[in-house]
C-alpha cells in the first residue's frame, strides 16, 4: 500500500454517521429512538489482493497500516484497530469465503462525538467485505456480527441501535 500500483480499488463504501432526533440513551431501556444518517462518512476503498489470508488496512487519519493474517487474528495495541479485528474475526466464524484484501479508510466523521463513528467503522468494513467477496451475509447478520465484535473483542456493552441504522 506504499504505492498506487500495488492496490486496485474494486469497491468503494461510504458509511455514514448518525444523530438521534429522539431517544438518546433510550434504546437500552426499550424506548423509542429516531436516528438519522448525517452527511459525514467513513469511506472504505477495498480490493482483493490475491492472497489467501493476508490483509492490509490503511487509515489515512491515523497514518498507519494494520497488517492482518486472517488465520491468526490477534489483539492490537492500537485501540481503533481492534474494532476492525473483531469484525474480521466474527466474519471468519460465519464463513470461509473471506480472503486477503487491501483497504484504505478515510473519514470526515468526528471521533467520539456521539455520531456512531464506531458503528460506521464496523458496519462499513463488514458491508464492504460482504459485497467484495460475496459472503452472503444478510444486513441483520452484519448488524449482529458488528455488535458482537464490540461486545466480545472490546468488552464494551453497546447496543444494536448504532449498528442497525447503518444498514437501513
Strand partners of residue 55: 68
Average pLDDT of the residues of the chain: 86
For residue 7, give the DSSP letter: -
pLDDT in tens, 94-132: 999 999 999 999 999 877 777 888 899 999 999 999 999
| pLDDT the model gives residue 4 | 46
Q: Alpha-carbon distance 15 to 97, whole Å? A: 23
DSSP string, 99-117: --EEEEEEE-SPTTSSS-H
The residue ranges of every structural domain in the chain are 4-166
Residue 19 confidence class, pLDDT cut points 50, 70, 90: confident
C-beta neighbour count of 2 within 10 angstroms: 9
pLDDT 10s digits, 39-62: 999 999 999 999 999 999 999 988
CATH says 4-166 is which class?
Answer: alpha beta
Check: CB of residue 138 under 8 Å from CB of residue 94.
Answer: no
61 φ/ψ sector (left φ>0, alpha ψ -120 to 50, else beta): alpha
pLDDT of residue 3: 45
Backbone angles phi, psi at 82, to 5 degrees: -65, -30
> Cα(69)–Cα(25) distance, rounded to whole angstroms?
37
Q: Which three cell numbers stand for residue 31?
A: 424506548
Q: From CA 62, how far away is CA 50, in angstroms rounded? A: 26
pLDDT at 133: 98
State the pTM of this model. Answer: 0.85
pLDDT of residue 167: 54
What sign does the CA torsion over 164, 80, 153, 73 have?
positive
Burial of 105 (0-12, 13-18, 19+ CB in 10 A): buried
Amino acid at each position: 500500500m506504499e504505492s498506487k500500483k500495488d492496490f486496485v480499488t474494486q469497491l468503494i463504501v461510504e458509511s455514514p454517521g448518525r444523530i438521534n432526533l429522539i431517544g438518546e440513551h433510550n434504546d437500552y431501556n426499550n424506548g423509542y429512538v429516531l436516528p438519522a444518517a448525517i452527511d459525514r462518512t467513513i469511506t472504505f476503498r477495498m480490493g482483493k489482493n490475491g492472497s489467501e489470508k493476508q490483509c492490509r488496512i490503511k487509515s489515512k487519519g491515523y497514518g498507519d497500516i494494520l497488517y492482518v493474517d486472517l488465520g491468526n487474528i490477534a489483539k492490537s495495541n492500537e485501540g481503533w484497530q481492534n474494532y476492525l479485528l473483531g469484525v474480521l474475526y466474527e466474519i471468519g466464524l460465519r464463513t470461509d469465503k473471506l480472503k486477503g484484501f487491501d483497504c484504505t479508510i478515510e473519514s470526515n466523521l468526528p471521533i467520539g462525538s456521539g455520531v456512531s463513528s464506531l458503528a460506521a467503522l464496523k458496519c462499513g468494513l463488514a458491508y464492504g467485505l460482504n459485497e467484495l467477496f460475496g459472503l452472503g451475509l444478510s444486513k441483520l447478520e452484519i448488524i449482529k456480527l458488528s455488535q458482537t465484535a464490540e461486545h466480545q473483542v472490546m468488552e464494551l456493552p453497546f447496543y444494536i441501535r448504532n449498528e442497525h441504522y447503518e444498514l437501513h
